[in-house]
Amino acid sequence: MNLAIQVTQKQLMDVLLNVAVARPVFIWGAPGIGKSSLVEAFAEQVGLPCVSLLGSQLAPEDIIGVPQIVDGKSRFCPPAQIAREEPYCLFLDELNACSQEVQKAFYSLIHERRIGDYHLPEGSIVIGAGNRAQDSAIVKPMSSALINRMFHVQLLVSYEQWMNWAYSNGIHSYVLQFLEVRPDYLWSQPPKSEEPFSTPRSWHMLSDALNEFGENLTTEMVGVLAYGCLTPQHAAQFRAFHKNIQGKYQLNRILEGEASFPTAPEDRDVLYFLADSFRSQIKKELPADKVSVGEQHKRFAHRAKALLKELSSISLEMAQMVVARHDDGDGLPDWFVVEVIRDLPRLAMDRKGK
């Protein structure tokens, strides 16, 4: 499912505080973006214990219970994990990964908040969550009857909100510094092949690994850790970033004229990282519309063109990578590209086939 409007973490908390208390809510979103942790944080905020059920591991009897004979009649006794005396938050994680039979077992629990003769205590909250079919996760079609029993919301990865959380929750400084330079690397689309990919959860995992190693980190080991958590391209960039901060080629020093781009063959990975970061910095500093360009922007654009000329003398391919528009349409401001082509026509060469 793809909803027309997506919500940030903060907006999701507002939805849960105002909607989940009255109606069951289902949270859609890609793996690793924090759905489960947000539900747990919400339950803590409203003062309710959070009971999680993992849909992919459930059988119908795990919901409706098993029959027992009471006074000559059979009754289904729901499991103790569900049949509680005090109100609580029931979190149905990976709900759309369970079988059709299990989905049917949830009908009355979600819609009427009951299982057989047992009713959830007054004040209890029911929240579901699941991945989307395009995320290469284990999902099954959710029945229309189940969809219609819940309020649906789709969670968006918010770089600003995750970074605010990261700075106050002990995320490793290398991760913070890197994502400050490459905010677009916080999350990537799950791949079709079996390989790690970048999400807020995988960056958190990398941070934990870096913290455990402490000061005993070599660039080689940083590469091992990064490739074990992140999208391969992001891992390569993170490894080059670590190599860079151990050396003398920080981008801010290059921008200020205190250093130059590396030229040694063994530093090509660092050069690629710096070139990619340089592109990101240009996009960050320069406005998309030329009418918004001020004197500070003009000075930065002049310096950027000088650095592009320097970079092209080292690697024309990397200089062209900085100014080229990517396949997804992402590129530098058009007015700046026009100036680059005018002042540095060599960079306008067609890169196709290279």
- The Cα 232–Cα 79 span in angstroms is 44
Q: Which range, of 148-157, 206-215, 263-272, averages the lowest pLDDT?
A: 263-272
Q: CA separation (Å) from 301 to 90, 260, 261, 288, 341?
A: 54, 17, 18, 13, 13
Taking residues 91-108, what's their average pLDDT?
89
Q: Which range, of 35-49, 71-85, 131-145, 197-211, averages the lowest pLDDT?
A: 71-85
pLDDT beyond 80 at 74: no
Taking residues 66-75, what's their average pLDDT?
72
Q: Which range, of 9-23, 167-181, 340-354, averages the lowest pLDDT?
A: 340-354
Q: pLDDT value at position 351?
A: 42
- pLDDT tens readout for residues 14-57: 999 999 999 999 999 999 999 999 999 999 999 999 999 988 88
Taking residues 86-98, what's their average pLDDT?
93
Q: Which range, of 152-156, 194-198, 227-231, 347-351, averages the lowest pLDDT?
A: 347-351
pLDDT band of residue 197 (cuts 50, 70, 90) is very high
pLDDT band of residue 349 (cuts 50, 70, 90) is low
pLDDT beyond 80 at 133: yes
Taking residues 256-262, what's their average pLDDT?
90
What average pLDDT does the chain have?
89
CB 114 within 8 A of CB 108: yes
pLDDT band of residue 248 (cuts 50, 70, 90) is low
Q: What are phi and psi of 259, to 5 degrees?
A: -150, 170
Q: Which residue has the higher pLDDT, 202 or 243?
A: 202
Taking residues 56-74, what's their average pLDDT?
76
Q: How would you class 41 by CB atoms within 10 Å of its CB: exposed for 0-12, middle for 13-18, buried for 19 or more?
A: middle
Taking residues 182-202, what's their average pLDDT?
93
pLDDT beyond 60 at 350: no
Q: Which range, of 185-194, 198-207, 240-249, 280-289, averages the lowest pLDDT?
A: 240-249
- pLDDT tens readout for residues 134-163: 888 778 888 899 999 999 999 999 999 999
pLDDT beyond 50 at 354: no
Q: CA separation (Å) from 97 to 3, 58, 132, 241?
A: 19, 10, 10, 38
Q: pLDDT value at position 327?
A: 65
User: Which residues, in sequence order, are bridge partners of residue 114?
Assistant: 119
- pLDDT tens readout for residues 3-16: 889 999 999 999 99
pLDDT beyond 90 at 125: yes
Sheet of strand 151-155: strand arrangement: 6-7, 151-155, 25-28, 125-130, 89-93, 50-54
Whole-model pTM: value is 0.76
Taking residues 340-346, what's their average pLDDT?
88
pLDDT beyond 50 at 121: yes
Q: What is the DSSP letter of 13?
A: H
